[in-house]
Amino acid sequence: MSISGRKHTVKHEQAALAAATKDNWYAYDGMQRQNLVEGSTNATAADNANVNASQGRQLTYDKNGNVASDTAWG
């Protein structure tokens, strides 16, 4: 099974009086591991604009496939 290197979802949330739409972008490396989770701008993991105060995480992996870093805002 082949998985695309990019994914884009749109999440709709509705609170009691306000509705909001949130775009989430995802990117995957050559081994199909997520390297961008809930990015805010595009499906490019190296683009730091994907991580902001309200969303986005960038992941890197060590040679054994373990998460080596998990970068989020703040």
Question: d(Cα 17, Cα 74) in Å, to the nearest integer?
Answer: 29
Whole-structure pTM value = 0.70
Residue 26 lies in a domain: yes
What CA dihedral angle connects 24, 6, 45 and 65, to 10 degrees?
110
Residue 30 lies in a domain: yes
Residue 51 lies in a domain: yes
**Could you report the average pLDDT of every consecutive run of 10 residues in the chain (74 residues)?**
58 67 88 92 84 91 96 84
Residue 29 lies in a domain: yes
Number of folded domains that form the chain? 1
Residue 1 lies in a domain: no
Residue 45 lies in a domain: yes
**Confidence (pLDDT) at 17:** 65
**Confidence (pLDDT) at 12:** 64
Structure tokens at 52: 């902001």
Domain range for 27 is: 6-72
